[in-house]
A and B are shown apart, each in its own frame.
Chain A
Amino acid sequence: MSSGVTDFEALVREALSPVEPPDDLLARMELTLVNLTELAQDELEAWELSTMRDPRKWVRPAAAAVVGASAGTALVVLRVRSRHRARKQQSSSLFDLAERTLADFAEEARRVLRDS
């Protein structure tokens, strides 16, 4: 390779420098992923306890699949997560909490799919 090409490559390297992501992007990504993982664990525990008693609750994976398949996954998770405390306070038992969460998930998924 000639030195001309090498010089040119150096210029290309300068022009195409790595672009630093905005400061809040890393924080936002972390929050999204933490919510994603925490929610999954949280909801799973609640769901498992109730499902052992009531096969009607087996519908939850289907709702989760709907959420997982949509492009608005993070949005659904964040919105549902943000209302978690309120649901917990309103619920009389884990069974009730799981039911409310399922309904909230399904409603939010429908809303995001409708808007997308």
Chain B
Amino acid sequence: MADDVPKNKVELDARFTELYRRHLRDVYSYSYYRVGNHHDAEDLTEQTFLQAYRHFERALRESNGRPLRPWLIRIAHNLAANFYRDRSRKPESAIEDAGLISAPHTTEALVEGREELKAILEGVSQLPDDRREALIMRFALGMDNREIARALGRTDGATKVLLHRAIRQLETMVSANAGGEPV
């Protein structure tokens, strides 16, 4: 809502501080799963927030009170696309076993599931870009269909179908790699 837009720079900066504290992990997780390593994920995260800072006031005005997380992720998405285009590279390996190393995977059950999880990460890296992104947003960031739709610039319905197909394709890939055994 326009009324919700801060009236001065101090308030605006305070709102921005609140935004990046709340969503730093989201942007970092998204960046990490996109670029596949911590170093580039840090760069991408910093660039995302600097870009966001420059356009924050307009985003607040135009958001009509809706959450800004999809907007942030969309910035990261665009920057990641530039990152690949400028450097003409893709992640060398899917992900540095992100979920196994960096995330709070400390329970015995998770350790036992290591190979399955590795296979899934490998499968995720082989999915088409839009499907991979939708899965990252859904599972790593916990975004709902509407948020993902806004971040990807799609309709809610198209996003629901995209997610469904992504999960099915991933399941098929992982199952095929496991020799047809159910995962």
Contact = CB atoms under 8 A, between A and B. Distances in A.
Interface residues of B, number: 50
B124 A16 contact: yes
Contact of B170 (A12, A22, A33, A68): A12
A28 B171 CA distance: 39
A74 B9 CA distance: 19
B146 to A, nearest CB: 19
Question: B interface, by DSSP: helix, strand, loop or mixed?
Answer: helix
A11 B182 CA distance: 12
Contact of B117 (A4, A11, A22, A33): A11
A29 B53 CA distance: 11
Question: A interface, by DSSP: helix, strand, loop or mixed?
Answer: helix
Nearest to B118: A15
A71 B17 CA distance: 21
Contact of A5 (B105, B136, B171): B171
Contacts of A41: 9
The 8 A-B residue pairs whose C-beta atoms are closest, nearest first, are A17-B103, A21-B28, A16-B139, A15-B120, A15-B117, A16-B140, A19-B32, A19-B29
